[in-house]
Amino acid sequence: MIFYFSATGNCKYVATQIAKVTNDNIMSVVDCVKSNHYTFHMSKNEGIGIVSPTYALGLPIIVAEFLKKLKISADRKPYVYFVATYGTTPGQTGFFADEYMREKGFPIDAKFSVKMPDTWTPVFDLSNKEKVNRINYRAESQIDFLLAQIKSTACGDFMTHKVPRLAAKVCYKIGYESIRKTKHFNVEDTCIGCGLCEKKCPVNAIKMSHGKPVWIKEQCVMCLGCLHRCPKFAIQYGKNTKKHGQYTNDTVKINKIMETERLYLRELRMEDKKELMKVLSNSESMQFYPHPFSEEEVEKWIEWNLDNYKKYKHGLWAVIAKEGDVFVGDCGITMQNIGDKTVPEIGFHIIMEYCKQGFATEAAYACMEYAFNVLQYPEVFSYTTIRNIPSQKVAEKLGMRIYKYFEKNGERQIVQTIMNPKLVEKE
């Protein structure tokens, strides 16, 4: 059983990744608290995982209270592990969690930490999406590490960036109380009275009054879920949150990779087949390919990309127009052979009716930035047949220059490329 608390999605993502390798169920602490469910039995071979954010160098009150009340029985001693996600330091979350679990006779065998975007936006700035993506990308190797340890039931304290215990105890006691002041919340005129903040608050600390949220100080655990999830970004805390932006880790929900002004890119899934066929099986869209794809070939295309995500952490992603949440095509980075070597290549396929609106350039530009800033590729490429002028024009708009020509499928291909400007600067 993996217990998690997550206001903005970071811990939910980590818990979901752990569940994929352990096959254990994930259990939301909020659901347990709301349904007064604190007694659990662990069957043979079932581990106990606790995944929690760090609040003021310690555990969110809701997690601490839950662990205090938790009652566990087990067929045999389970493997117990704790994971803290954090933005700056996980403080002494592992120590605090262990104190609660030890009292019940289930001391924690392994402790881990994962650095993720810091949702305490009264201080930390999450307005730069590129920076946020980079933090989340770096978190992947930390998650891979803990997955391997948990899978092999490794024991030990693997947490990094901790602070001394005394400092954490003092900060938790004084610091958490001092930030738990709901008087710092204010609601802007953009509030549409949708009530989402009231509905989603994990501890019922918001009541709607005259179409606006009002906070119940004693109940609020200061998770900032209301601020980050408001569809109009109408909730602010103090003076800085407006400029520091909103953040939610929606990776679990939609496997979102990146966002642009009008689009977002998420992982493809098999259910996209029908929409994807609108471009890959369309003879006009596929005029530069040997033939339009059959339904089976589109399925294979999606499977190939699902493999790419696992192997390279990139591939072609679904391109969705934010307005109306419409599937407009695919775009992304795949490894392609350009005659003498295999290189990261930016490709895209946009459904006819959405062409000539700049979507390909907008999505391809975001992919290029992702390739440079997140994946840290030294250069990226684009290749197509010399007949495909629209595609070459998009590459030109990205700043690519001609790299070479080569023969493939009995046709002359043009390869364009651009260097990672950050690496060029360093040289």
Q: Could you list the residues that contact ligand SF4 (CB under 6 A)?
A: 187, 191-197, 201-203, 205-206, 213, 215, 220-226, 230-232, 234-235
- Contact partner, 192, from ligand FMN, ligand SF4, none, Cβ < 5-8 Å per class: ligand SF4
DSSP helix/strand/coil, 426: helix
User: Position 182: which residue type?
Assistant: T
Cα–Cα distance measured from residue 105 to residue 72, given in angstroms and rounded to the nearest whole number: 9
Backbone phi, psi, residue 76, to 5°: -150, 165
Tokens of 273: 């087949």
Q: Which is nearer to ligand SF4, 12 or 162 (CB)?
A: 12
Q: How far is the CB of 350 from ligand FMN (least distance, A)?
A: 33
Q: Which is nearer to ligand FMN, 52 or 305 (CB)?
A: 52
Q: Which is nearer to ligand FMN, 223 or 277 (CB)?
A: 223
- Contact partner, 234, from ligand SF4, ligand FMN, none, Cβ < 5-8 Å per class: ligand SF4
- Contact partner, 206, from ligand FMN, ligand SF4, none, Cβ < 5-8 Å per class: ligand SF4
Q: Which is nearer to ligand FMN, 9 or 344 (CB)?
A: 9
Tokens of 337: 């052979």
- Contact partner, 254, from ligand FMN, ligand SF4, none, Cβ < 5-8 Å per class: none
Residues that bind ligand FMN in the complex, under the rule CB under 6 A: 6-11, 53-57, 85-89, 91, 116-120, 179, 222-224, 249
Q: How far is the CB of 287 from ligand FMN (least distance, A)?
A: 45
Cα–Cα distance measured from residue 206 to residue 220, given in angstroms and rounded to the nearest whole number: 8
Q: How far is the CB of 315 from ligand FMN (least distance, A)?
A: 26
Comparing C-alpha atoms, which of 373, 321, 326, 329 is closest to residue 347?
329
Q: Which is nearer to ligand FMN, 16 or 88 (CB)?
A: 88
Tokens 């220059």, residue located: 401
Q: How far is the CB of 84 from ligand SF4 (least distance, A)?
A: 18
144 exposure class (CB count in 10 Å sphere: 0-12, 13-18, 19+): exposed
- Contact partner, 201, from ligand SF4, ligand FMN, none, Cβ < 5-8 Å per class: ligand SF4
8 Å CB contact between 316 and 335 = no
Q: How far is the CB of 404 from ligand SF4 (least distance, A)?
A: 53
Cα–Cα distance measured from residue 10 to residue 120, given in angstroms and rounded to the nearest whole number: 13
Q: How far is the CB of 57 from ligand FMN (least distance, A)?
A: 5
Q: At 278, which helix (H) or strand (E)?
A: helix 273-280
User: Position 294: which residue type?
Assistant: S
Q: How far is the CB of 153 from ligand FMN (least distance, A)?
A: 24
Cα–Cα distance measured from residue 156 to residue 77, given in angstroms and rounded to the nearest whole number: 17
The 10 Å Cβ neighbour count of residue 384 is 21
Comparing C-alpha atoms, which of 239, 229, 221 is closest to residue 195?
229
Residues in the chain: 427
Q: How far is the CB of 86 from ligand FMN (least distance, A)?
A: 3
- Contact partner, 10, from ligand FMN, ligand SF4, none, Cβ < 5-8 Å per class: ligand FMN
Q: Which is nearer to ligand FMN, 139 or 276 (CB)?
A: 139
